[in-house]
Structure 1
Amino acid sequence: MGKTGKREKKGKGAEKTAAKMERKVSRRAKKEEEDLEALIAEFQSLDAKKTQVIESSCPPPSPRLNSSLSAHPEKDELILFGGEYFNGQKTYLYNELYVYNIRKNSWSKVEIPNPPPRRCAHQAAVVPTAGGQLWVFGGEFASPNGEQFYHYKDLWVLHLATKTWEQIKASGGPSGRSGHRMVACKRQLIIFGGFHESARDYIYYNDVYAFNLDSFTWSKLAPSGIGPAPRSGCQMATTPEGSIIIYGGYSKQGPKSDKRKRRRGRQAEAEGAGDEEMEKQPPQGPVEIVKEVVAEDGTVMTIKQVISGPAEEKERSESEEEEEDGALGQQVEPCPRSNAMLAVKHGVLYVYGGMFEVGDHQFTLSDLYSIDLHKMEEWKVLVEMDPKAQEWLEESESDEEEDDMEGAEGGEEEEETSEEESEDEGGEEQHPSVQPDEEHADYLSRTEQYWIKLARSNMGPDAKEKKVVKVAHAMAKTFYEDSV
Structure 2
Amino acid sequence: MGKKDKNKKKGKGAEKTAMKTDKKLAAKQKKMLKKLEEIDIAEVIGRLEEEEARIKTVSEEICASAPTPRSNFTLVAHPEKEELILFGGEFYNGQRVSVYNDLFFYNVNKNEWKQIRSPSGPTPRSGHQMVAVAANGGQLWLFGGEHASPSQLQFYHYKDLWMMSLKTRSWEKISTSNGPSARSGHRMVVSKKKLFIFGGFYDNNQSYNYFNDVHIFSLESYTWLQVYIEGAIIPPPRSGCCMASAPNGSILVWGGYSKEKIKKDIDRGITHTDMYFLKPNKSAQNSTKYKWITTKTNGYKPLPLSSVSCTSAPNAMVYSFGGVMDVDENEEDLHGQFGNDLLALDLNSLTCHLIDNFKKKKSQNKHPKMSADETLAEAVNTISTTSTDGIFTVKVAGTGGSASTLPEMPSFFSNYKPDSLPSPRMNAGLCVCRGILYVYGGLFEEDNKQYTFNDLYALNLHKPEEWKVIIPNNMNVHDWIDSESSDSDDGDDCEDSGEETKSESEMETELFFFFCKYLEARTLFLNIFFNLINRQTLLCENLA
Aligned residue among 149, 154, 164 for 2:160: 154
Q: For residue 377 of structure 2, what is the aligned residue in structure 1?
A: none
Deviation at 1:288, TM superposition (A): 9.7
> How many Å apart are 1:303 and its aligned residue?
3.6
Distance of aligned partners of 1:254 and 1:81 in 2 relative to their CA distance in 1, 3 Å threshold: farther
Corresponding position of 1:292: 343
Gap change, CA 1:275 and 1:129, over 3 Å in 2:
same
CA change 1:10–1:250 in 2 (3 A) is closer
The residue number in structure 1 matching 2:127 is 121
For 1:251-400, list aligned pairs within 5 A: 251-253=258-260, 270-271=307-308, 273=324, 275-276=326-327, 290-293=341-344, 302-305=353-356, 312=369, 332-396=420-484, 400=487
* Conserved 8 A contact 1:29-1:199: no
Q: Aligned to 2:488, which of 394, 397, 401?
A: 401
- Separation in structure 2 between the aligned mates of residue 256 and residue 144 of structure 1, nearest angstrom: 30
2:257 partner SS: coil
| Mapped pair 1:56 → 2:61 | yes
RMSD (Å) for aligned C-alpha atoms: 4.1
How far apart, in 2, do the equivalents of 1:297 and 1:72 lie?
25
Contact kept, 8 Å, 1:179 with 1:269, in 2: the verdict is no
Among 42, 45, 49, the residue aligned to 1:44: 49
Structure 1 position 35 matched with structure 2 position 40: yes
- Aligned match of 1:250: 257
For residues 374-429 of structure 1, give each alpha carbon's deviation from its aligned partner in whole angstroms, at most 9, with x where no partner exists: 21111001112312311100012x663256449x99xxxxxxxxxxxxxxxxxxxx
Residue identity in the other structure for 1:360: N
Deviation larger for 173-182 or 299-308: 299-308
Counterpart of 1:25 in structure 2 is: 22
Per-residue CA distance 1:292-349 (angstroms, 9 max, x = gap): 24599999774445999966479xxxxxxxxxxxxxxx95111111110111111211
CA distance in 1, matches of 2:141, 2:448: 35
Q: Deviations over 1:222-260 (max 9, x none)?
A: 3334232211111111122222211211112259999xx
Q: 1:386, 1:339 → 2: CA distance?
A: 18
Aligned residues: 377
Is the 1:240–1:298 contact (alpha carbons within 8 Å) kept by the matching residues of 2? no
Contact 1:93 1:141 in 2 (8 A): yes
Q: Which residue of 1 aligns with 2:170?
A: 164
Q: Secondary structure at the match of 1:276?
A: strand
Q: What is the correspondence of 1:473-484 to structure 2 with a 5 Å cutoff?
A: none
- Residues in 2 aligned to 1:282 and 1:78: alpha-carbon distance in whole angstroms: 30
Q: Write 1 or 2 for the structure with the bigger share of helix.
A: 1
SS at match of 2:40: helix
Q: Indicate the structure whose relative CO is greater, using CA pairs within 8 Å and at least 6 residues apart.
A: 1
TM (norm. structure 2) is 0.61
Unaligned runs of 5+ in 2: 34-38, 270-304, 309-322, 372-417, 497-544
2:79 alignment partner AA = P
Gaps of 5+ in 1: 263-267, 315-329, 410-484
Partner residue, 1:452: none
Given that 1:339 and 1:355 are in contact with CA atoms closer than 8 Å, whether structure 2 keeps it comes out as yes
Distance 2:221 2:111 in 1: 38
Deviations 1:80-130 (A, max 9, x none): 000000000000000000000011111011111111011001000111111
Task: Provide the rounded CA distance (Å) in 2 between the counterparts of 1:193 and 1:11.
Answer: 31
TM-superposition CA deviations, 1:11-52 (whole Å, max 9, x none): 979955851541551685698899211111122222222111
Match of 1:474 in 2: none
Percent of aligned pairs sharing the same letter: 41
Give a deviation string over 1:450-470, Cα, whole Å, max 9, x none: xxxxxxxxxxxxxxxxxxxxx
Aligned partner letter, 2:58: V
Q: Which protein is richer in strand relative to its size?
A: 2
- Structure number with greater Rg is 2
Deviation at 1:201, TM superposition (A): 2.3
Give the C-alpha shift of residue 198 in structure 1.
2.1
The 2-side partners of 1:80 and 1:28 are apart by 36
Which whole-Å CA distance do the structure 2 matches of 1:404 and 1:255 have between them? Answer: 27
